[in-house]
Amino acid sequence: MPTAKRLEKILSLEDFEPVARRVLPRSIFSFIAGGAETDASLRANRQAFLDIAFSPRVLVDVSKRSTATQLFGKRFEAPFGIAPMGGAGLAGYHADIALARAAAAANVPFVLSGSSLIALERIIKENPQTWFQAYFSVDRGEIGALVDRVAAANYHTLVITADVPVPGNREHLIRRGYTSPLRPNPGLLLDALSHPRWLVGTALRTLLTTGMPHHENYGADGGVPVFSRTATRSHIRDSLSWKDVEWVRGRWKGHLVIKGILAASDARTAREVGADAVVVSNHGGRQLDGAVAPLRVLPRIAEEARGMSVFYDSGIRRGTDVIKALALGAHFVFVGRPFLYAAAVAGAAGVLRAVDLLRIEVDRDLALLGCRSISELSARIIESSGAPMSPLRDRRGDPLPTAPGRVDRQE
């Protein structure tokens, strides 16, 4: 594991990726880094940020600025959190625990993936503020059992991923020999042997300390091993509908978030069925290739939210990216791949370093923009054409606030 001095040489989130590429087997790195089919949406996510520029103000007293944000009745130190990432334990030893511990230490939200290799009950002990993201089956009995399990473990926020009715077409995984569960074969063995740090520090260490890792929280498939020649996992949930979400809303008493929203009409439906927030996301370009970059539809969805919180996910790499998403109407931002690379490189210490780097960037950028608060951001951005961005407005035509706002659902 890199020493603290080595971590000091990592100066941005992007610096973690090439190190992780060297540490991880090619199949594992490809699983994390790749998108679907041609990677068009993966590239579009980054391009959308490049098409937005800043118009800073100068000689503004910004000495009392703060990156702290209120979310669901709690104060966090930054306007961003750690997104759910399935199979994180393949990237680093007990990576979900590392992510949870780092999030707790840094006081930012962490969302545990339903495809985690660590039981949700253990993660909540490491970080009592953890959120849980669910991949529901098509059986309401199984949905109800999972919702009740999450509630019994004392989670307060449930995130339903809505944009995966079937798996995305990730051809790069087939080429790398990656399947779920992983099927032992000579190619994977050679891949592992050529990456001894991962083989010893992650794979063998996991096997020696906790035995064969399993998908612990994945609906009816909980308990399916990561490596198996015969086991299967069901990834088909194409009959799920808003009626199921409404049914969950009646059963789940905590905060409810719907992840994977790209259409304003879906945001409206989410609000109408009682969701507390939506996550504007195209799954990091991992599902439908050619899906619109979330940043481009964020303002319209923020208009439709009408009191419901709006979160953003997909393509964040810099503090300026966080600020652009907030300026366009997001109340909060979630970041995925870079934090998992950090966990793979240096465990919880790596994630803490990544969180700190991003928080410092956000703080510095606020000052350079002449902003004393996040509510002032919308006046500091322009489109690449040079035209000022249109202010967000509600249906009465009044400007919408862009500060992190409403977070508590009325019971």
Which residues carry out catalysis?
283
Q: Which residues pair with 107 in a beta bridge?
A: none
C-alpha distances (whole Å) from 247 to each of 1, 45, 133, 143, 146 are 46, 33, 17, 10, 13
Pairing type for strands 111-112 and 131-134 reads parallel
C-alpha distances (whole Å) from 267 to each of 223, 270, 316, 333, 405 are 34, 5, 21, 17, 17
Secondary structure of the chain in the HEC alphabet?
CCCHHHHHCCCCHHHHHHHHHHHCCHHHHHHHHCCCCCCHHHHHHHHHHHCEEECCCCCCCCCCCCCCEEECCEEECCCEEECCCCCHHHCCCCHHHHHHHHHHHHCCCEEECCCCCCCHHHHHHHCCCCEEEECCCCCHHHHHHHHHHHHHCCCCEEEEECCCCCCCCCHHHHHHCCCCCECCCHHHHHHHHCCHHHHHHHHHHHHHHHCCCEECCCHHHCCEECECCCCCCCCCCCCCCHHHHHHHHHHCCCEEEEEEECCHHHHHHHHHCCCCEEEECCHHHCCCCCCCCHHHHHHHHHHHHCCCEEEEECCCCCHHHHHHHHHCCCCEEEECHHHHHHHHHHHHHHHHHHHHHHHHHHHHHHHHHCCCCHHHHHHHEEECCCCECCCCECCCCCECCCCCCCCCCCC
Find the helix packing angle between 40-50 and 319-327, rounded to 10°: 80
